[in-house]
Structures are given as structure tokens and as C-alpha cells.
Amino acid sequence: MRTTRLTAAMVAAAVVSGTLALASPASADPTPAGTFRQLVGVGSDTTQDVLNALAGDIVNGKSYADTAVKAGDAGIASYDAFVPGAATSTIQTRSGGPTFLRPNGSGPGRAALSMSLTGDKFPNATGVAVKGQVDFARSSGGPSTSGNTLTYIPFARDAVGVAVRGSALDTLTVDQLHDIYTSGDTRLKVLKGQTLHAVLPQAGSGTRKFFLAAIGLTETTVSSEIPTVQENQANAALTEDGALVPFSVGSWIAQNNGIAPDYSKTAVAAGAHLASVQLPGDTGDTNPVTTVNGKLTPVAGYFENATFGRDVYNVVPSRAIDPSSVFFDKALYDVFVTSGTHEA
């Protein structure tokens, strides 16, 4: 896996500081409508607004047009994972190109990128051929399979916490989380006298996959009874005491600090918060956030933890950033791989 950085490192660093939203419903696609740019990205909602800012689009009512990252005339077109209020929607990424299902999450984003290389149909055999329609994928999870077709470029640091409602869930252990989400008759359904209502992000979510791995589960061992919601939306997930859901800590900070339009305000008003977790090897528990001058800020020890801290990535075709390849894409290489100053 290539270890590089995007030149706009200050924007990436803002992810963990909460000064730029990791996930918020800004303009879902390049603005104005009908705008097409050369470097097309899809996938995770966790980093979509950082990429929207780098693209020079509008994030939470603020235009970043003056600081758009470009390579020559080649700009970024980052398409959001979802449209608020719509179960599904479609996108068109090239002028005259096909319209296809919007990839919602890290997994679908990487799949769309792969199918853009092979010419296969997305999201499946009954979908639409998307050859040449996607240039990079936003991913909140790292590589999990062997192979060198795609390169994962580390972009920023995030962490996954557990958003909960009710004081019975103020502190949790990895073993408890495993038992709450596992399948079978041994599943933990009551804790400290509180009936539990576990929730997970939607299928294909990188946060979902990361969280399950962190607590020792997979898609085959997690309980099929657990309902799902769009990730990073506490209002939908935490509707009653005893509810809990994995959550991007960067997104939680951004929403609660008023940086991002807030999908968690109603839940927080009813008592929702991030639980403290006993990290593996520790004797005490650690909360992912603390309050400084009235604003939430990340706790370094939690973000640096090997179990719950994570890198988030931009994923590109390996051949496109190989200068010796006939498929070399200099614009993609300049924006995502090289260091130095890009045209803004």
C-alpha cells in the first residue's frame, strides 16, 4: 500500500480538529448542477465534505471556490454518498455519460472505481456499465484483500466511537460490545438493568466494517436482528434509552460544534453522547472527545489507539499513478500523490 499524503494537508488535518465537517449534507454534487470535472470521486460519507471543500464546492453554506485544489485545469468532482431524504439516487459524472446508482459508502465507492476500470456494470449485473466514469474512491477503511490494482492513499486520521443514549451505557468494554452485537443465544440484551437497542450503519459502510472488526465480529457473526440506519446520523439511530450505534468521532465533533448540519441534535437533546470505552490493554476507560472552551475536541489517546483509531483514505487505480504506465494520469497523480503546491 502506498503511503503518501494529499498536498492540502491543512484541510485533512481539519478533519480531526472538527474545523471542517467529516460528514454533512452540503451540495450533494459539484455545483452548480450540470458541472463536470475531470477527477471524479465517490464513496464514503465520512470524508465527502473534505473532498467537497478541496473541489471548491459549497460545504455547510460556505464556498471553497477560492481554494479549490487543481492540477492545471483538472479539478475534483466529489459526489456525496447520499442525498438527504432520499433512499437512493443517481448521478451522472461525465457530460453525455451514463446515469448510475449513487455509491453509498466505502465499499460501493471502491466497487464503482473497480468497475470503472473493468467496464463492468454497477452495482451488479442488472446495473449500468460505468467504464471510465470514476477516478477515485473515498474510503474510511483500509485494504483488506491482497492485490495491487488499487492504491490506498492515507488522507487523515479519524476514530470510531460508540454513540449511546442513556446513562447505563456511559462506559463500555470491547467484550461487552462484542456480546451486544454478536449473533446467537448468548447475545447481550440487557446491561445494568437497561434493555439494549443496538443499531448499525448501512451495509457497505466502512465505519460498519471497521467497528465489527474492532469488536471481533464479521458480517457472518454479527446478529442479523440488528437494524441499520445511514451512518453518522444519531437522530435516526438513538431514538430511545439503551440505543447505541458506532459513529465517526470526527463527524460527531463536527455536528456538535455546529460545523456541520446536525443529524444528531434531537438525539443529543434527549441525552445521546459518546460512550467511554476501555481500550484494549488499559485498566480505565477513555472517552473519544473532551471539551475545550465550550467545543468538543478529539482525545489523542483514543485516536492513536490501534483498535478504534483509523486512517481514512483516497483510493486510486495503481496504474493511473504509475509514471511508467500507459494509463498514467498526471492530473490524478499531481492532486493525490505529489507534494508541493497545486494550483488553487
Do residues 203 and 287 share a domain?
A: yes
d(CA 199, CA 273): 15
**Residue 9: pLDDT over 80:** no
Q: Domain for residue 282, yes or no? A: yes
**pTM for the model:** 0.86
Span 112-141, mean pLDDT? 97
Span 226-239, mean pLDDT? 96
pLDDT-based confidence at residue 19 (cuts at 50, 70, 90): very low
Do residues 88 and 181 share a domain?
A: no
pLDDT in tens, 210-222: 999 999 999 999 9
Provide the β-strand partners of residue 116.
Answer: none
Q: Domain for residue 119, yes or no? A: yes
Burial 282-299 (b: 16+ CB within 10 A, else e): eeeebbbbeeeeebbebb
Residue 13: what pLDDT?
A: 40
d(CA 19, CA 208): 24
Burial 72-105 (b: 16+ CB within 10 A, else e): eebbbbbbbbbbeeeeeeebebeeebbebbbbbb
**Residue 181: pLDDT over 60:** yes
pLDDT in tens, 265-299: 999 999 999 999 999 989 999 999 999 999 999 99
Range scoring the smallest mean pLDDT among 48-52, 99-103, 244-248: 48-52
Residue 261: what pLDDT?
A: 67
Do residues 226 and 278 share a domain?
A: yes
Do residues 328 and 269 share a domain?
A: no
Do residues 152 and 165 share a domain?
A: no
- 246 contacts 207 by C-beta, under 8 angstroms: yes
d(CA 159, CA 210): 10
**Residue 31: pLDDT over 60:** yes
Residue 104: what pLDDT?
A: 94
Q: Domain for residue 344, yes or no? A: no
d(CA 312, CA 22): 11
Do residues 196 and 266 share a domain?
A: yes
**CATH number, domain with residue 209:** 3.40.190.10
Do residues 142 and 35 share a domain?
A: yes
Residue 53: what pLDDT?
A: 86
Do residues 164 and 244 share a domain?
A: yes
Torsion of CA 19, 20, 24, 28, to 10 degrees: 160
Do residues 80 and 14 share a domain?
A: yes
SS3 state at 309: strand
- What's the longest Cα–Cα distance across the chain? 63
Q: Rg of the Cα trace of the chain?
A: 20
Q: Please provide the average confidence, as pLDDT, over all residues in the chain.
A: 89
Q: Domain for residue 63, yes or no? A: yes
Burial 230-246 (b: 16+ CB within 10 A, else e): bbbbbbbbbbebbbbbb
Angle subtended at Cα 154 by Cα 251 and Cα 146, rounded to the nearest 5 degrees: 115
Do residues 76 and 218 share a domain?
A: no
pLDDT-based confidence at residue 315 (cuts at 50, 70, 90): very high
Neighbours of 172 (CB within 10 A): 21
User: What total number of domains does the chain contain?
Assistant: 2
Residue 82: what pLDDT?
A: 86
pLDDT in tens, 243-271: 999 999 999 998 898 876 688 999 999 99
Separation of first and last alpha carbons in the chain: 28
Q: Domain for residue 343, yes or no? A: no
pLDDT-based confidence at residue 144 (cuts at 50, 70, 90): confident
Do residues 213 and 277 share a domain?
A: yes
CA 221 to chain centre: 23
Residue 147: what pLDDT?
A: 74
Instruction: Determine the structural domain holding residue 101 and report its residue range.
Output: 9-156+311-336
| In the chain, % of residues over pLDDT 90 | 76
d(CA 232, CA 247): 5
Q: Domain for residue 342, yes or no? A: no
Q: Domain for residue 177, yes or no? A: yes
**Residue 85: pLDDT over 80:** no
Range scoring the smallest mean pLDDT among 43-52, 92-101, 148-157: 43-52
Do residues 77 and 110 share a domain?
A: yes
Q: Domain for residue 4, yes or no? A: no
